[in-house]
Amino acid sequence: MVNYIWVGMMVTGFIVAMLTGNVDKVNAAVFKSAQEAVTISLGMVSILVFWLGLMKIAEKGGLLEMLALLFRPIVKRLFPDVPEGHPALGYILSNMVANLFGLGNAATPMGIKAMEQLKKLNGGKNEASRSMITLLAINTSSITLIPTTIIAIRMNYGSSNPTDIVGTTLLATGVSTVFALCIDRFFYYRSSRKGKK
Amino acid sequence: MSFINSFSIWFIPFLIGFILLYGTVKKVSTYEAFVEGGKEGFSLAVSMIPYLVGMLVSISVFRASGALDLLLDFGKPFFDFIHVPGEVVPLGLMRTISGSGALGITSDLIASNGPDSFIGRLASTIQGSTDTTFYVLTVYFGAVGIRKMGYALKVGLLADLIGFIASIIVVTIVFS
């Protein structure tokens, strides 16, 4: 599906550009965004190195195993495929906690480490496993306790109460996370039924 | 307000300090472990590049050509019909494809409508509510080399839609 969307956006863009005369803008956009992508990736080096370094200490000290043990009942239900005590659980939990506190920068490296472990569990295939998709669903809809960036923007524009959207954000993300998990389950059972036929 | 503020300020140093002290107590050779783990960060960032280039180019072609605007104009009567302020629709769409793009639209909406207006609050809630599905998908799957995504994209996009609708409903109930 991602193949079709990818080609679809490009080709539609080129056709519209020809009709509207925006071809020069599109040409500029191609190279500018390619450059931007490299800048973003390299810009993440510092954050990734720092948090992955710290996480290594936490991992060696046994902190991740402890976290995983603590929240085992919840995570076991969300990720029934991951065996107990597997390091993936610790990373998944750190990822969820970082998202909860709006620490997107800290959440990404942990999410990536979790994916790496889940890939090992899946026999190293380049195919997304059930647990990987669940982790993704939790991440895109992630429950947010403190939306740090948006509070900062509201303060900048002189809001009389910059944090009054914390409650609505928490409610909206709570709803979307629950639904995301239901949708995830629905698609999983549908695809596993198909597989058996 | 001041509590949340100081919480977010203190959380990071606390977390870092805690991990360092915990490692020390557990007799981990902290500095060596840090360097060992940090090395992985560089290769991860580099392995992400092709995935991000592919996705961002496609998105920006779609946007710069005017195709995104066309799509929005096309849907406008429908959004009017279901009482969704047309101003936030581009934000809802952009939120799924570009985090920085969405942040741009949000600050634009807040600047032109005021942070405490209905649209300002709605935009703030939408911005805080969902994450950029395409970005998460690209970065997380790209870093570990997942090419067959299964039903992941469908789940992510549907979750975004639910988050968007939930934001509108919650903000309408709470603030109007």
By the 8 A CB rule, do B118 and B175 touch?
A: yes
What was the pLDDT predicted at A134?
A: 94
Which tokens belong to B160? 């975004």
* Sign of the C-alpha dihedral computed for residues B5, B9, B12 and B17 taken in this order: negative
- Residue A162, SS3? helix
Which chain B residues in 141-170 lie under 8 Å from chain A, judged by CB atoms? 141, 143-156, 158-160, 162-163, 166-167, 170
Which tokens belong to A175? 């709803």
B175 contact residues in A (CB cutoff 8 A): 168
Q: Does B57 contact A188 at a Cβ distance shorter than 8 Å?
A: no
- How far does B168 lie from chain A, in Å, by closest CA? 9
pLDDT in tens, B58-97: 888 988 999 888 887 888 888 878 778 877 888 888 788 7
Which tokens belong to B96? 């799924």
pLDDT in tens, A147-179: 767 877 788 788 888 888 888 888 898 999 999
Tell me the average pLDDT across B9-35.
89
Please tell me whether the interface predicted TM-score (ipTM) of this complex is above 0.90: no
Which chain B residues in 91-130 lie under 8 Å from chain A, judged by CB atoms? 103, 106-107, 110-111, 114-116, 120-121, 124-130
Is A132 within 8 Å of chain B by CB? yes
Nearest 5°: the CA angle A43, A49, A55 is 135
Report percent pLDDT > 90 for chain A: 31
Residue A103 predicted with pLDDT over 80: no
What was the pLDDT predicted at A104?
A: 65
- For tokens 């997107």, the residue is A104
What was the pLDDT predicted at B141?
A: 92
Which tokens belong to A56? 């290594």
pLDDT in tens, B143-164: 898 988 889 999 999 988 999 9
b/e map of B122-134 (b: 16 or more CB within 10 Å)? bbbbbbbbbbbbb
- For tokens 């647990």, the residue is A131
Question: Confidence class of residue A194 from pLDDT cuts 50, 70 and 90?
Answer: confident
d(CA A80, CA B107): 41
SS3 content of chain A, % helix, strand, coil (to 5): 80, 0, 20
Residue A184 predicted with pLDDT over 90: yes
Nearest 5°: the CA angle A1, A184, A172 is 110
